[in-house]
Amino acid sequence: MIKDFVSLFFPRVCLTCQGALGKGLNEICVNCLQELPKTLNHEVPIPEFEQRFSGIVDYDQVLVYLFFQKRGIVQKLLHELKYNDKPEIGQILGKWYGKELAIAGYDKKFDVVLPIPLHQGRLRVRGYNQSEQFALGLSQSLGLKMLPNGLERVRANETQTRKNREQRWQNVSGVFAVTDLEAVANQRVLLVDDVLTTGSTLVAAAEPLFDARVKNISFAVMAAAK
């Protein structure tokens, strides 16, 4: 009753279209939810995504939830998630995607979910890791254990924004280390990031995991450009 009364003066609105949110909806209205540009590449593989890793790193699955377009709905959601203190967006998207993957049987393909970590300095500024929020939603819907601190950034690196392909690879080389070898040894790891561009961050994070003798590695991200 109190929430209904407050909503009369401070109505909850959709983050993407600013329309009113109905009861039981979190951050995104039904219309925008239906318009999410899903890749569905867990049903039909999209070669453009896999080509970013083929011949570079051994992998089992490349899973991308949404297509990213400038000034599109996904860009708005990612901006709110990363810069406007909306960690719940990551969890919501993770839960939705996790449910779709579970229906398709992907809950049997992995043992643990492992998010790409932020450096401690950046984590203190933002207050949370957006990739960890997405990984949390995935793990809940897939019924899998998440290792939020399975990896660490051993040094701070510059943002990947506005760097070319070669600069991105150089920027993340040697950045990551495994914190608990026993927790990942012989495990099928689902490595989670927010956005797939060149794939350099995921590849850099996969290297120490293979050194730790994981069974195999798959990649999952919220969005990637076509």
Give the strand pairing for 151-153 and 145-146. unpaired
Q: Which of 5-9, 112-116, 196-200 has the highest mean pLDDT?
A: 112-116
Give the range among 4-8, 62-66, 114-118 with minimum mean pLDDT.
4-8
Average pLDDT score over residue span 66-95: 93
First-to-last C-alpha distance (Å) of the chain: 45
CA atoms within 13 A on the CB side of 84: 10
Average pLDDT score over residue span 11-26: 70
Buried b (16+ CB within 10 A) or exposed e, 162-188: ebeeeebbebbeebbbbeeeeebeebb
Q: Which residue has the higher pLDDT, 164 or 221?
A: 221
The pTM of the full predicted model, rounded to 2 decimals, is 0.86
pLDDT tens digits along 194-211: 999 989 999 999 999 999
Of 83, 103, 78, 95, give the one whose Cα is nearest residue 16.
Answer: 78
pLDDT at position 8 over 50:
no
Could you tell me which CATH number the domain at 37-225 has?
3.40.50.2020
CA 52 to chain centre: 17
- As a whole number of angstroms, the distance between CA 206 and CA 181 comes to 13
pLDDT tens digits along 177-188: 999 999 999 999
Residue 137 amino acid letter: G
Average pLDDT score over residue span 73-91: 92
pLDDT of residue 175: 87
Domain regions of the chain by residue span: 1-35, 37-225
